[in-house]
Structure 1
């Protein structure tokens, strides 16, 4: 079997059936479902209640044919320091902008900013909590970066 049908359901009851290859990633599933339901989707949750990691393939995530995956509509999550902003994208990655010295530049840790669940700020730094429980910080060292 080279492809699989998965049902992505919103808490509102709206549902979309997505057909994609077994080797497709959870992120690809999220993006396809997002287009189908015309809403910004955040986390995808398996039928067993586990949050699915965007970098996993359907097979790695244990997705089965005709599984129902619950999608959470993504609210924009933004944090701010005194001179910079950071936001969690619906893909679980982070974008930052503003004064680089206040955390507005995160390119040094961008590769670590995957599967971000929460973001917090101090006066001149940010901390991102990832799904695996690890934290990533950036900004001024004396402010927590």
Structure 2
């Protein structure tokens, strides 16, 4: 995806988020990403969900348009302390100015770890301010 958030997000790179395809993002659990009881930090999971949903919305935008998160909600069902976690997002509905998305995060062994929903504004950035 040219010009989308995976090309421009230092935070996503720092976390180690890897885009596998449109709306598919993976992360390797590392020691600096776990909490005091050794499980993946909640904000890291949240970032994974938000990024995957945003990536998918960006993927289908027309040149010159962008997207911004309006809201994201996640449900933490379980956690993990090692391995790969993968998030897969879908666009449930898209209008002219908003896209509604959902996502699931699975652990390396296939357990459902998180679910999420999000709303993204579809915008045309002012001249000279857009990413595309």
Higher relative contact order (CA 8 A, sep 6+): 2
User: One fold, TM greater than 0.5?
Assistant: no
State the TM-score, normalized to the length of structure 1: 0.28
State the TM-score, normalized to the length of structure 2: 0.30
Query: If you compute each CA radius of gyration, which structure gives the higher value, 1 or 2?
Result: 1
